[in-house]
Amino acid sequence: MSPPSPAMAGLLQALVGASEKAGTIARLCRAEEPLFQLLVAEKSGTDKNRRFLQDFKTLADVLIQEVIKHDLGKEFPELQGHIHGEESNEFKNRQGDTVVVRVCDTPGDTAALLLSVLEPEREAAELLAAAVHRDVTLGDAELASVALSIPPQDLAIWIDPIDSTNEYIGGREDVAPIDGITPAGLCSALVLIGAYDRQTGCPVLGIINEPFYCRDPLTHRWQGRYHWGVAYGDTQLSSLSPPPPRPTPCVVLSRAEGGPVRAALGPLCGDRLCFAAGAGYKMLCVILGLADAYVLSEGSTFAWDACAPHAILRALGGGAVALAGALQARRVGDTGPPPELVYNRPAEGAVGAKRWANQGGLVAYVHPQHLEAVLAALATVPGL
């Protein structure tokens, strides 16, 4: 890598600040009536109305993505062109014109641009523009004291502006947690920002922001929280401590996970198979020690889902391995470390979003003994 640059010391703080602004916008869309009505409106009426309402749901994602790109690119010009997200920022408005969503120089200009997509919802456009241009102040002494020397020209960023978008739109607040893991609902909607090494694809810095962590008991407004981790060279730092390992691991899965995988993991876990929505949320469950591993046998997650939580897992001594590759290595007797997910290599022959799918599934873990136990159990599953 290039020599460290003192100018990069504020990168972690900038990423956290961007995630906090993103979380504010995500909450705003549910708290302010003009925005909330657009977010939850029933898909009824003409095709034009259905498309418009869907556009607004996508706009919340895209706007958060573009705010993060704008704020980070402005502070760290070396990152411009290397900040990637899930969403395209091009929209067709009701007149059929293409509108490129971006952050303009002033709140008024940004509001006018958003209005060209949201027309006639002027108040909604102005509320969003004000949030986009509002400065974020972090009152986090621990975060402020962290000094990193990571050269910006060696990094690139993956953003998932609202992971678990369907849960965000559905907005269920009454889902009771089971052993600390909430199976679905608003709390699984996260903002994920991960930085990786452009050359190796290795994740080095991650932020997970929970915009809907809990409600303020007095105001009843949602409050968020964030977690961060750094795994760069010999540096391993995190806002969290590694959770203690359980003797019998708890594994979290998607409800769509197939019967053979469930059957293979059942004896390993006893009654500790758990289920939850959102790839980012399931990886967060491992980070927080609510589960010991997250297993996914399909290639249904993407670089933007996994980069940020993977970096935090590495900071805690764990990681996220490519399941198919790890099982293949195991079957041929390779005793080295199983292959980790990387974030700089699109899948050969794939097109569109599938270029960045984590093909062959993944296992996220903190403690190596849990990874080993999971791989040993899954090695018996035909077809994996």
Q: Does the annotation flag 305 for ligand binding?
A: yes
Name beta bridge partners: 357: 302
Question: CA-to-CA distance for 141 and 144, rounded, in angstroms?
Answer: 5
- Paired sense of beta strands 251-253 and 293-296, if any: parallel
Question: CA-to-CA distance for 104 and 83, rounded, in angstroms?
Answer: 18
Q: Which residues are catalytic?
A: 61, 86, 160, 162-163, 165, 305
Please check whether residue 71 is in contact with residue 18, taking contact to mean a CB–CB distance below 8 angstroms. yes
Q: Does the annotation flag 162 for ligand binding?
A: yes
Question: How many helices (H) and strands (E) would you count in the chain?
Answer: 12, 13
**Close Cβ partners of 159 (under 8 Å, ≥ 6 residues apart):** 65, 68, 69, 83, 84, 85, 86, 192, 193, 304
Burial 287-311 (b: 16+ CB within 10 A, else e): bebbbbbbbbbbbebbbbbbbbbbb
DSSP of 4-16, one letter per residue? P-GGGGGHHHHHH
Q: Does the annotation flag 86 for ligand binding?
A: yes
Q: Does the annotation flag 163 for ligand binding?
A: yes
Binding site members: 86, 160, 162-163, 305
Binding site members for Mg(2+): 86, 160, 162-163, 305
